[in-house]
Amino acid sequence: MVIEKKINTASVNLKSLDPLDHSLELLHFGFRGLTVAADRFLEARGLSRVHHRILYVIARVDAISVGELAITLGVSNQALHRPLSHLFEQVLVQYTREPGRHRFKLLALSEAGSALEAEATELERRTLRDAFATTDADGQDAWRRVMLALAEQLN
């Protein structure tokens, strides 16, 4: 659910308990800003951020199993079950059985799933493109280095 109430991040009066708190707040509000347009688009279709995360990964991997998808997203198979079932019901995701290992479902996007994923992701790209336009190439590279350092914590 997208909360429609606008927030003025400059007026949020959060007490800093550490010098890095402001950076944490920027990361939190920045991510919300990145996803808000896509979240509205998805909500109008009865979907949410978790559905988009699933569609995004499946679109970028040739034949991924449910288990591999769960690992990539950092969730349990049980947590993946409900949103993935919803995507099957809407015929946005389809599966085939892995040859020789019939218990394993290999996931792929349907044509409708590909179109929906592309539109939601393009909304996020536009937001990111606009944000990158506010800084030079050095600033963009610095941002990528910080994001990479954070992502490396998962390895």
pLDDT digits (tens, 9 = 90+) for 45-92: 999 999 999 999 999 998 899 999 999 999 999 999 999 999 999 999
pLDDT of residue 103: 78
pLDDT of residue 7: 62
- Spell out a b/e string for 13-35, using b for 16 or more CB atoms within 10 Å of the CB, else e: eeeeeeeeeeeeeeeeeeeeebb
Q: pLDDT tens for residues 87-139? A: 999 999 999 987 777 778 899 999 999 999 999 999 999 999 999 999 999 99
Helix axis angle for 49-59 and 77-89, nearest 10°, is 90
Q: Is the pLDDT of residue 3 over 60?
A: no
Domains of the chain are 23-127 (1.10.10.10)
pLDDT of residue 115: 99
